[in-house]
Structure 1
Amino acid sequence: MGRGAPEEAADHLASALTHAPTLPEAHELLGRLATRPGGGLDLFPLVPHVAAGGLACRAHLLAAAGRPEDGLPLLAAASGRMPGSDWAGVPWVSDPALGARIDPGLLVQLLMRLCTAVGDPAPPATRASLRPYLSVARHAVALYPEHAMLLGAGSALARRIGETVLAVDWAVRGARSRPSKLAEIWLGYAYRSAGKLPEALAALRRAVSHDPDDLSVYADIAGTLADHGRLDDALNWVDRALERNPDYDCAVHTAHRLRHRADGDLAHLVRLADFIRDHPDESHEHTDLADCCRGIPWLSGAPAAAPVPRGTAPAGAEPSADAVRRLRQVASLSWAHPPAAYDAAVQLILVPPDGLLALLADPPAGVAAAEIWACLGLLHHGVEETWLDSARRRILLGLLDGGLDRVTEAALFALVVAAWIDPEAREDVAAVVGARLAETAARPGARSVAELALATPDLDPASRQVAAGMIRVPAIPRQRGRNRLLLRWRRP
């Protein structure tokens, strides 16, 4: 600014606010920019992909120009991108006059966008950064005490930051002012956050009476009941939703999750994975499959095991630097669920099969579960071939020869993943896994095969029973090796 380069100064200020949104020195310099003709707004244009710091700078300049109602949505947009940063912790946001200046309908939209950007409840570190927006809502509610949408959206924000008493109060007032499906949903969620289950269920049932075709409410009721141990009632609500629309994504996800919770049958999760694959355009992101897989060996990550010697990968050329680089980019000890592991390995299609086998023969040091990811990479080659006649199947079966080691485990897991993503592979993979289980049942280290068997779709009941029995037997500690070729797996 001292040498007459305001554009460059503006870039630095936007970067500074990105790291420290309330930095006094940055705001002092913004005050100097505000004295320029036009209030300095030309230095922070609303261009596509503008950074959060640029949005905040423009918001503060608008407030300095006497237009805080125009600046608040920009601050809220920055908070939506980086909810944990204190974008709104400035005096002009907490000024009661702002609640009078901003249009209540615009404030409703702003609050709802904020709620969408954070969890329910919001993480503890985020709650403090959202409180200034709740103050604006308080000031606006004082002026518009019967504005149902403002009361409901304010309630949604209040419950996310732990203000459950206020959330219930505003939601009750909103539902009383203008009864509607949305008002009852807000009320039901507020009661649920406050631990008042009967009241929450009553409100959500009233929401259903307002709109019997909104099946998302059925799923919400089912989830609420299940969370409080009423699984049979929860499944009844899911079934009611599925009777109306068997393909409604929220109901399908909830149904499979709850049925898996009820009996632990892997088939529910496999059917859910099939549904996700066949219905890519869902109404919103779901986490039911990942939630059900979490903590289960092989479904969410490589199980804990002491290292064992590598033994079956064929010797070959040294892996290329590009192959090692790509492996490092994807390798991990955990994944959300088996189809997610397959998707994560997709970039290994750029490593030819010989290169992946080289990674198996000579895995790079310090790469997590390198053998697993090399085998998953093999699944992405020759996908146009039918499973039984495919090269990927032939290679993976070849890797099963020999004893129990990390390569055979990795190859067996890749076969299991193939069964998850390709229904045509399931009968074959189940037979291979069942045979492998029978062959290794009495060997040390067979527990990992049993865990893989329990993760295998369509495994026959007898084999599943054998695998379950093996899991219940205390594992025999494996011998710990001493070189870099030994497996170092742990639970995620």
Structure 2
Amino acid sequence: MGHADDEGDERLAAEGEVAVARLAIDSGDLPHAADHLADAILADPQLPELHEALAELSAAAGGPAAARELFPLDGQVYLGTVACRAHVEAAAGDWDTAVGLLASAIQYEPARPWAHTAWLAREDLPALVDPDAVAQAVARATGGLPDPLPTELADAVQPFEDFVQAVVARHGDHALLLAMASGLTRRLGATDRAVELAELAHLLAPGYLPSVMLGNALRAHGRPERALAVWEAELARVEPERDNSSSYLAVDVAELYGALGRPADGLPWLDRVLATEPDHPKAAPARYGLLHAVDGDPAHLLALADHHRAHPDHEYAQDLLERLSHREPWLGMVSGATEATVNVLHQVLAAPGTTRDSEIECSASAVEPPSSLLAVRLALPRATVDYRSVAEPDPRLPLAEPTTPIWSWDGTDPRPAVAPPAPDSAELVRDTAEIVWATVPAAYDHAVRLAGLPLDDLLGTLVHPPTPREDDLGRALLAHQPELWVRAVQVFACLGIAHHRTDQPWEGSDRRRVLVDLLLGPEDWVVEAAGFALVAIGWTHPETRADIADRLRQRLHYSARAHRTRVVTVLRSLAALALTAPWLPPADLDLARRLIERAKAREAREAREAAEAGEPGGARATEKAAEREPATEEQPEPRPGLLRRLFRRA
């Protein structure tokens, strides 16, 4: 419905521009009329009245050839001007220029139906154009197209593809045209035809461009090994000639090895490029990407971030970092929660008939992170949770004497120790918080909008989280996984603290003091949020890394020791967070990896045992799999507390 409304608004806007243009034509102000037609074609390229007005303008100017001057192409050119000029050139019979300008419009705004025009579909047009000009036009158009094209873009570009194929049918021996046409056809999903065109181009004119296009077509068609053979043969041919243009092909070869699961085989190709071009914009980032594929070490992702900070024009480093961080806990999204209370919450929310007025009474044998209650009460305000004991070491106690307490305890009942934030501050955090982010530095940068909030309001938001935004994602989180929203709010509130008073030197700064206090505070999700904020500072400000490492390892070791005698629900998440700070000492990183691997092995074993026993995988199995992560093999595993729950429908 919204899309149709947008189209209607665009058509109305185009009609208005055409009406004004016609008034200008009648008054003899042709440049003014041309400006309005350029605006109209940008709004609705297919509006019939627009093309009628273009013909009227050309006639008033003395014919299409004279009308060219009304749509100048000097300097920075407006896209609407380019599109109008294409139609004027077509009317003047300069088909090569018309096709080239239409290709430029496709390049810069591929979603618009520029190619849906009658003159491009003329049956005699393929005989009227120069194949060299068409090849250049195809190269220009595809330069702005994703590969493959999504459906909405494919529909807009298809008439241009039909025209190109008609030209190819007349000039089947033109190698450059065949090669370029292969790239366009590949993007539209006809990979078999793309291979056919590229193979013919390569046969007619073996060389760099046909080889590149053939390899791309073969790779898209599911024949990557053949693509490697073509590219490596071309690199062997040009290498003695020291052709620097081949360096990008060498990067493609290296990354194709990575895509085939053989990243180590790709590294020598990148080393060869870097030996002659140490500042190559893609080779060093690609090398970090392959090294990450070899061992999965987040240190290579940190190196990508450092590389991009040192070379901001090397956008490929940023692209790779985003791709490799995508949906990875802490690197690209908030880590999940494993508390038994949250597991029960999920079951209640999934049960038929559950509403926000439903009541849930839970009784757990031992205290859990108090933020888990925030998630329960966010979704079910009438819920109550009773903790029957406190395991040792006491998770309610901080690791160091705090100056920033945010929780207080009445026995086993947690209470916020800070006031709620001001409504405007809460709303800004609500508008800023996200459960996913592109990269760690991107999350840090996104939170800069919170830099001006009072520190007390950011602290208040940690224990008085606002409700999720009223959009599809917010409603889904509230209905199914409210804990992710609570954790997202806490993460971005802590990132806001990371931006507080950045004029203060790191040592002795308020932001350092508060974040370290929170990291070393009572066992809670806020510990992880503060830890992530510190990690983000380390990623973006390398001079802080040694200090942050000391604090992170202090928390990790305490949690590992505590787990020798009790459940530490945040331990696996803390271990994953530690790995996103690769500047920690190797022994600490090894500890984090062992904790994660043992947790994975235990989950797999318990899932297998549950399946063999025919258990449905309910709360007990979930609690067991999620909670127990011992610090050492020699220590006995703590047993999870039994959880009792009663439901009453309001």
**Structure 2 length-normalised TM:** 0.64
Q: CA deviation at 1:454?
A: 3.3
**Corresponding residue of 2:598:** 469
**Corresponding residue of 2:200:** 173
Cα-to-partner distance string for 1:115-135 (whole Å, 9 max, x where unaligned): 221122222332232232233
Contact 1:419 1:457 in 2 (8 A): no
**Gap regions ≥5 residues in structure 2:** 1-17, 26-31, 343-370, 375-405, 408-415, 470-484, 604-624, 628-639, 644-650
Q: Structure 1 pair 345/113, CA: closer, same or farther in 2 (3 Å)?
A: farther
The count of aligned residue pairs is 478
**Corresponding residue of 2:229:** 202
Q: CA deviation at 1:184?
A: 1.7
Contact 1:300 1:336 in 2 (8 A): yes
**Corresponding residue of 2:365:** none
- CA-atom RMSD, angstroms? 3.6
Q: Which has the larger Rg?
A: 2
Structure 1: distance between partners of 2:72 and 2:428: 39
Q: CA deviation at 1:36?
A: 3.3
Q: Which moved more, 1:455-464 or 1:438-447?
A: 438-447
Q: CA deviation at 1:86?
A: 2.3
| Residue 163 of structure 2 is aligned to residue 125 of structure 1 | no
Which among 390, 400, 408 is matched to residue 519 of structure 2? 400
Contact 1:75 1:87 in 2 (8 A): yes
**Corresponding residue of 2:543:** 424
Q: CA deviation at 1:67?
A: 3.6
Give the residue type in structure 2 aligned to 1:319: A
**Corresponding residue of 1:379:** 498
Q: CA deviation at 1:335?
A: 0.9
| Residue 281 of structure 2 is aligned to residue 217 of structure 1 | no
**Corresponding residue of 1:452:** 577
Structure 2: distance between partners of 1:252 and 1:89: 42
Q: Which moved more, 1:435-444 or 1:391-400?
A: 435-444
**1:37-436 correspondence runs (5 A):** 37-38=61-62, 52-53=79-80, 55-142=82-169, 144-212=171-239, 213=244, 214-282=246-314, 287-305=319-337, 306=342, 308-309=372-373, 312=407, 315=418, 318-319=421-422, 321=424, 323=425, 327=429, 330-351=432-453, 353=455, 356-357=458-459, 359-360=461-462, 362-367=464-469, 369-383=488-502, 387-436=506-555
Give the residue type in structure 1 aligned to 2:256: T
**Gap regions ≥5 residues in structure 1:** 480-492
Which among 21, 30, 34 is matched to residue 45 of structure 2? 21
For residue 74 of structure 1, give the secondary structure of its aligned residue in structure 2: helix
Cα-to-partner distance string for 1:334-370 (whole Å, 9 max, x where unaligned): 1112112122223333446455445546544335633
Contact 1:315 1:358 in 2 (8 A): yes
Contact 1:330 1:344 in 2 (8 A): yes
Structure 1: distance between partners of 2:527 and 2:426: 21
Q: Structure 1 pair 92/430, CA: closer, same or farther in 2 (3 Å)?
A: same
Structure 1: distance between partners of 2:536 and 2:19: 62
Cα-to-partner distance string for 1:387-443 (whole Å, 9 max, x where unaligned): 444332112112235434443332111012122223333333233223223334433
Q: CA deviation at 1:54?
A: 5.1
Contact 1:451 1:471 in 2 (8 A): no
Q: CA deviation at 1:31?
A: 4.6
Q: Structure 1 pair 67/247, CA: closer, same or farther in 2 (3 Å)?
A: closer
Give the residue type in structure 2 aligned to 1:340: A
For residue 431 of structure 1, give the secondary structure of its aligned residue in structure 2: helix
Q: Which moved more, 1:151-160 or 1:441-450?
A: 441-450
Contact 1:317 1:358 in 2 (8 A): yes
**Structure 1 length-normalised TM:** 0.83
Cα-to-partner distance string for 1:48-90 (whole Å, 9 max, x where unaligned): 7766455434433432343443333333233223323322022
Q: Structure 1 pair 196/463, CA: closer, same or farther in 2 (3 Å)?
A: closer
Structure 1: distance between partners of 2:130 and 2:277: 39
Q: Structure 1 pair 132/382, CA: closer, same or farther in 2 (3 Å)?
A: same
Q: Which moved more, 1:312-321 or 1:259-268?
A: 312-321
For residue 84 of structure 1, give the secondary structure of its aligned residue in structure 2: coil
Q: Structure 1 pair 54/308, CA: closer, same or farther in 2 (3 Å)?
A: farther
Contact 1:420 1:457 in 2 (8 A): no
**1:436-447 correspondence runs (5 A):** 436-440=555-559, 441=563, 442-447=567-572
Contact 2:186 2:194 in 1 (8 A): yes
Q: CA deviation at 1:221?
A: 0.8
Q: CA deviation at 1:237?
A: 2.8
Structure 2: distance between partners of 1:391 and 1:182: 57
Structure 1: distance between partners of 2:548 and 2:317: 30
Give the residue type in structure 2 aligned to 1:419: G
**Corresponding residue of 1:484:** none
